[in-house]
């Protein structure tokens, strides 16, 4: 299973949602922080 590709896809989806909903800045920040932690753990 390729975690890197999956992580990139998830991040891309979040970025698309973020562009559509700028008011969702706080949840986006939480998710991006969570994704960074996840990436560290998967290395």
Instruction: Please give the pLDDT value at position 1.
Output: 45
End-to-end Cα, the chain, rounded Å: 13
Span 1-43, pLDDT tens digits: 455 556 667 777 777 776 665 555 666 677 778 888 888 887 6
Instruction: Please give the pLDDT value at position 11.
Output: 74
Instruction: Please give the pLDDT value at position 20.
Output: 62
Instruction: Please give the pLDDT value at position 36.
Output: 83
Distance CA 15, CA 2 (A): 20
Instruction: Please give the pLDDT value at position 18.
Output: 66
Instruction: Please give the pLDDT value at position 41.
Output: 82
For residues 37 and 29, the answer to whether their CB atoms sit within 8 Å is no
């Amino acid at each position: 299973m390729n975690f890197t590709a999956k992580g990139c896809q998830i991040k891309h989806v979040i970025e698309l949602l973020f562009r559509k909903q700028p008011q969702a800045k706080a949840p986006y920040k939480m998710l991006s922080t969570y994704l960074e932690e996840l990436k560290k753990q998967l290395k």
